[in-house]
Structure 1
Amino acid sequence: MSVQVSPEELEEYRDFAVEVATKAGEMIKKAFYKTKTVTNKGSGVDPVTETDKAVEKWVIGFIKERYPEHRFIGEETTDLDAPFDFRDDLTWIVDPIDGTNNFVHNVPEVAFSMGLTANKKVIVGVVNLPVLDLMYTSMKGHGSYCNGRKLVTGSVEELKKSIVIYDTSVLRTPWNVDTVLKNVRNIITKTHGLRTYGTAAVHCCKMAEGHAQAFVEYGLYCWDFVAGLLIAQEAGVHVMDPDGGPCDLMGHRILMGCTAKVANELSAMITHHKMHRP
């Protein structure tokens, strides 16, 4: 049976997500200026800090207290070696710190990302950049906002006139590294330029704001882009899988364009990565 969410409940959930993101942001900002304790999850390029763990632990407890019947998927408490138990139920999907490498190196593009799904579709998305004092919010069918300002993506009609966001920290197998270099060359020679900010949540918000006109990223988990996906869509961004089909929250990749034409041009121009995720 599908989950039904009333307009009043939708607004309640959005307000709750903002409340959580605000508190989590305070925790992140306080820790940002302190010495961090860093460990790695399987490789030297996937760090985790005590703040990642502390924020997620607090969020889980707060959600259970307010909505004990809701489900939860979080980066630091999910088994990455097995398929996720993703259901139609109301599910909060959280990345306590998206951009942990930025956090470790004191780069201010650090985000708390929180999305709510119902029937496996995103209905609420909140991304907080506490160091930069930017709060992005969105509800399905109600637009996207940054600090209360309504967002509308750009309107460029050609990829060659676009700024493209392409994250180069994808899985670093030799094949993927070669693919990154090939794609970077294509992007910088055939567009207005390439940008990368080290966090998929921020990349999605940049698209929503019109700061870039195309974006593609591989090697993601659902918590990296669940909130940003809705924020971008509600601002008018065309969202799809890099191969051209619908974007799958469990598909580990995403492609966006300010228009469908730009998105399809980027899809056709790049070499797609080989992903090995559960």
Structure 2
Amino acid sequence: MCELNNFDEYYRIAEELVLYAGKIIEDGINSRKNIKSKGIDWDLVTEYDRKIEDKLIKQLLIQFPSHKFIGEETVAKEGCLPQLTNDPTWIIDPIDGTTNFVHRFPHTCISLALLVNKKVEIGIIYNPLMGQFFSARRHCGAFLNGKSIKTSDMRDISQSLVAMEPWLAKDPQYLASVYSRMHALVQGTHGIRSLGTAALTLCYVAMGAVEAYHIEGIDAWDVAAGKLIIEEAGGVVIDTDGGELDLMTPKVIAACNQQIAQQLVDLIKKADCEILHKNLN
């Protein structure tokens, strides 16, 4: 197990490695890419995803050989999600927003989190293409490029800007709920936004650029670092049903405060009930 006085060193090395990985994204954004699908046409992977993850794990293992790892590309290769334990565990998304990266859309980032006793202690999300380095350590605040950030103080969902990802509707099991929830958000908020990267959108909640974000069908590496960054900025991240988020099977409502989170929970429940009512009739 790690001692608390090691967190400075953990953070220093993590920051150094993420900044280095950012240069790989910068170098690769305009290059020809070897693009593959992970079985579904919107879940893409490139050689850059693998290169960054391999580099991060290799270097972290040199520094911390007893630590464990959960990485998006490693899980895809091995075909199963490892169990989260109390041991120090790094959760890695080498490129969140790979489709954006493939299309040279500049909303793409590296996400790295360190969990100890199943709690996120360090979160780093870096978008090198726009020079945005988000970071947080538990009980130490959240930062963008070294400057403290806070969530919005909005209390009314109808006056809020809310983010949601419509691409999930490509999966037939999500199609009806996605369209119903999107319709509810269009009617019940100032507007909706979709960036194609969960990690970076969570950071935009943390910095107050959007009041809330809703997404399902994602994994731990999409949300681990962003969850801590939002919480340290004063926001909340909960399950779509309103309970505690299960990090390993996340159904996410992230919000600037508990009031907005609850209003979004209620809005989604109403939209889902309308689908159920239509199906029964």
Q: Structure 1: where are the runs of 5+ without partners? A: 273-278
Asked if the contact 1:226/1:249 (under 8 Å) is kept, the reply is yes
Tell me the secondary structure at the aligned position of residue 78 of structure 1: helix
Distance 1:242 1:42 in 2: 26
Number of residue pairs matched by the alignment: 269
One-letter amino acid matched to 2:147: R
Partner of residue 218, structure 1: 216
Asked if the contact 2:114/2:120 (under 8 Å) is kept, the reply is yes
Deviations 1:147-191 (A, max 9, x none): 011001000011111000111122633341122111111111110
One-letter amino acid matched to 2:27: K
Partner of residue 41, structure 1: 38
Distance 2:247 2:228 in 1: 11
Deviations 1:3-50 (A, max 9, x none): 4531x3222211111111101101111001111110100111111001
One-letter amino acid matched to 1:106: R
Distance 1:134 1:242 in 2: 28
Matching residue within 63, 66, 69 for 2:63: 66
How is 1:236-251 mapped onto 2 (pairs within 5 angstroms)?
236-251=234-249
TM-score (norm 1): 0.93
Distance 1:29 1:240 in 2: 33
Distance 2:195 2:207 in 1: 14
Partner of residue 11, structure 1: 8
Tell me the secondary structure at the aligned position of residue 167 of structure 2: coil
Distance 1:164 1:252 in 2: 18
Q: Displacement, 1:84?
A: 2.1
Distance 1:56 1:24 in 2: 9
Distance 1:259 1:207 in 2: 10
Tell me the secondary structure at the aligned position of residue 170 of structure 1: helix
One-letter amino acid matched to 2:47: E
Tell me the secondary structure at the aligned position of residue 35 of structure 1: coil
Tell me the secondary structure at the aligned position of residue 267 of structure 1: helix
Asked if the contact 2:169/2:178 (under 8 Å) is kept, the reply is no
CA RMSD in angstroms comes to 1.4
Deviations 1:198-253 (A, max 9, x none): 11111110000000111111011101111111011100012111111111111232
Deviations 1:66-88 (A, max 9, x none): 11111111000115753422110
Partner of residue 277, structure 2: none
Tell me the secondary structure at the aligned position of residue 166 of structure 2: coil
Pair 1:167-2:165 in alignment: yes
One-letter amino acid matched to 2:53: E
Q: Structure 2: where are the runs of 5+ without partners? A: 273-281
Distance 1:97 1:4 in 2: 27
Deviations 1:253-277 (A, max 9, x none): 21112111110110111146xxxxx
Structure (1/2) with the larger helix percentage: 2
Distance 2:166 2:3 in 1: 38
One-letter amino acid matched to 2:13: F
How is 1:1-278 mapped onto 2 (pairs within 5 angstroms)?
3=1, 5-6=3-4, 8-79=5-76, 81-170=79-168, 172-270=170-268, 271=271
Tell me the secondary structure at the aligned position of residue 169 of structure 1: helix
Distance 1:71 1:88 in 2: 10
Asked if the contact 1:14/1:138 (under 8 Å) is kept, the reply is no
Tell me the secondary structure at the aligned position of residue 262 of structure 1: helix
Asked if the contact 2:141/2:232 (under 8 Å) is kept, the reply is yes
Distance 1:22 1:51 in 2: 15
Tell me the secondary structure at the aligned position of residue 170 of structure 2: coil
Distance 2:164 2:251 in 1: 12
Asked if the contact 1:239/1:256 (under 8 Å) is kept, the reply is yes
Q: Which of 107-116 and 73-82 deviates more? A: 73-82
